[in-house]
Amino acid sequence: MERKNVEFLSEGARLRGWLYLPVPSPRAGGHPAIVMAHGFSAVKEQYLDRYAEVFAGAGFVVLVYDHRNFGESEGLPRQEVDPALQKRGYRDAISFVATRPEVDATRIGIWGSSFSGGHVLEIAAIDRRVRCVVSQVPQISGYQSALRRTRADHVPALLGRFEADRARRFAGGVPAMLPATSADPAEPCAMAGADSHAFFADTATFAPNWRNEVTLRSAELSRENEPGIYIARISPTPLLMIVAEADTLTATDLCLRAYEEALQPKELVMISGGHFTPYVEHFERTSQCAAQWFKRHLIADC
């Protein structure tokens, strides 16, 4: 397969990534395509290249890119996770791949994991250019997730920090920052837990663009993000959800409840372990399940 560096415009910023072309190429009428991006604070080097290689090997053109404000992509403030702009980025990525001569624009699927696993649920529900979707360990509800991650007696102080940060920004000050993960369970961070810290620490050598910080406003915006309310509107677009049995970051029960609300055609794949096991321990299964789902719905009837 061939991998090219590419960039495209989204809301005034250049988003940069990789375009994977399958071999053999070209295909009469173009290849089906998959658009994919990473989760909260993560960059494309953190295992997304492995997924893209599997999908390209299955016959797809694959676009993998960094979200706005992260990695190689442009955007300010740096390290700010803005779910609304990230979802617009996905839709501009779809527009970009649809213009590629190697792509059949009528056969485009999207893949997302964790925070972007929620994004793709919403995008598939409202953008009918999407013909197939895979959502892996998705954040379903920012509010419900926040209730589980922050002790009730700590919430007033957190909301006070949000208000102080907003006032400081309005006055022209720099945004407050928050560690993305921490080895110290007592230190406030965006993604608490030993498994979160271990995942990102273990990728440091091959993902130097990742930084262990996000703006404090990222946490505030995450609390407002509610992609799960769209899930019943995805049909008739085929939906595959991959859910971890012991996920505490994007809680298993919230994922399963959302899956029950989705309409057919849909399929659920359960894996053991926590939130980060799809990328490493269960990579073979999660990548192959996704590839087969895309093949069934984007290639089988070509």
pLDDT of residue 39: 98
Range of the domain at 35: 2-145+225-299
Residue 87 counted as domain residue: yes
Spatial contact of 242 and 292, defined as CB atoms under 8 Å apart:
no
Q: Please report, for the domain that includes residue 64, its CATH number.
A: 3.40.50.1820
How far apart are the C-alpha atoms of 136 and 112, rounded to whole Å? 6
Indicate whether 254 belongs to any domain: yes
What is residue 3's predicted lDDT score, i.e. its pLDDT?
97
> CB within 8 A of 24, min separation 6: which ones?
none
Question: Which of 238, 261, 260, 302 is CA-nearest to residue 107?
Answer: 302
* Type of residue numbered 267: E
pLDDT in tens, 145-202: 998 888 788 889 899 999 999 999 999 999 999 999 999 998 999 999 999 999 999 9
Provide the residue type at 42 as one letter: A
Residue ranges in the chain whose pLDDT is less than 50: 302
Structure tokens at 114: 């964790």
CA atoms of 102 and 182, how far apart (whole Å): 43
Helix/strand/coil for 15: strand
In a domain, 78, yes or no: yes
Residue 35 covered by a domain: yes
Tokens of 292: 């087969």
Could you tell me if residue 164 is inside a domain? Answer: no
**Which pLDDT score, from 0 to 100, does residue 243 have?**
98
Q: Provide the number of structural domains found in the chain.
A: 1
d(CA 54, CA 85): 28
Taking the C-alpha atoms of residue 39 and residue 94, their distance in angstroms, rounded to an integer, is 18
- φ, ψ of residue 22 in degrees (nearest 5): -75, 160
Q: Does 173 map to a domain?
A: no
Q: Please report whether residue 89 resides in a domain.
A: yes
Q: Is residue 14 part of a domain?
A: yes
pLDDT for res 68: 98
Query: What six digits make up the tokens of 138?
Result: 């998705």
